[in-house]
């Protein structure tokens, strides 16, 4: 279960929305996921299987229940895996 509960609203033109929607579809991503990846400096090239995101979400949950040091280590590893799997920097 995702813990995303905060929204970010932006205004775009009809043409901009069509273009961004097309780019998201081309990558096999929802509009929200495409915008999220772009905002986090990922270069979407395709959509990894849903299970990849489920595993990364689970790692974040595990990290939250650990000691601060262990949590930071797990968080760093999970972030690195995101970079490798999703195509980040």
pLDDT of residue 35: 92
Residue with the two structure tokens 């901009």: 16
Q: How many residues does the chain have?
A: 89
pLDDT of residue 89: 44
pLDDT of residue 53: 74
Spatial separation of the C-alpha atoms in residues 52 and 66, rounded to whole Å:
22
pLDDT of residue 31: 92
- pLDDT averages per 10-residue partition of the chain, 89 residues: 82 90 86 90 72 81 86 84 65
Q: Token pair for residue 3? A: 């813990």
Contacts of 35 (CB under 8 A, 6+ apart): 20, 24
pLDDT of residue 22: 87
């Amino acid at each position: 279960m995702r813990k995303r509960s905060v929204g970010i609203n932006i205004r775009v033109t009809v043409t901009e929305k069509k273009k961004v929607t097309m780019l998201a579809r081309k990558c096999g991503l929802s509009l929200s996921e495409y915008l999220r990846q772009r905002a986090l400096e990922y270069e979407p090239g395709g959509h990894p299987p849903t299970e990849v995101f489920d595993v990364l979400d689970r790692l974040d949950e595990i990290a939250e229940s650990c000691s601060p040091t262990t949590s930071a280590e797990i968080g760093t590893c999970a972030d690195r895996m995101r970079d490798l799997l999703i195509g980040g920097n």
